[in-house]
Amino acid sequence: MRSTFSSPKLNYMKWPIVGSRPSKRRSKQFNFLSLFIGGKKEVLSVADTMKWKVLVINLERSPQRWHAMVEQLEASGLPYERVEAVAGDTLTAEQIAQVFDSKAARHNYHYQLSRGEIGCYLSHLKAWQTILNQQLDYAIVLEDDVVLDAKFRLLPKVIVQCDEAWDLIKIAAPFKQQKSYVLNQLDGFRSVRFKKPPMGACGHVVSAAGAAKLLAQRPPFFRPVDVDLQWQTELGLVVRGLMPFPVDNSHQHGSDIFAMGDRRKQPQRPLLRVKHQLMLYWDSLRARW
pLDDT at 129: 98
pLDDT at 220: 98
Spatial contact of 174 and 143, defined as CB atoms under 8 Å apart: no
pLDDT at 43: 38
Q: What is the mean pLDDT of each run of 10 residues along the chain (289 residues)?
A: 36 36 41 47 56 98 97 98 97 98 93 95 98 98 97 97 93 86 94 93 98 98 97 96 94 61 65 78 77
pLDDT at 157: 96
Of the candidates 208, 217, 216, 134, the residue with the CA atom closest to the CA atom of residue 166: 208
Sorted by where each begins, the domain ranges of the chain are 46-287
Provide the total of helices (H) and of strands (E) in the chain, helices listed first. 11, 10
Count CB-CB contacts under 10 A for residue 131.
Answer: 27
Class for the domain spanning 46-287: alpha beta
The backbone region for 176, taken as left when phi is positive above 0, alpha when psi lies in -120 to 50, beta otherwise, is beta
Of the candidates 121, 257, 12, 183, the residue with the CA atom closest to the CA atom of residue 4: 12
Strands 189-194, 180-186: parallel, antiparallel or unpaired by DSSP? antiparallel
pLDDT at 9: 36
- Looking at the DSSP bridge assignments, the partners of residue 55 are 81, 141
Instruction: Show the DSSP H helices in 27-161 as ranges.
Output: 46-49, 63-76, 93-99, 102-108, 115-133, 155-159
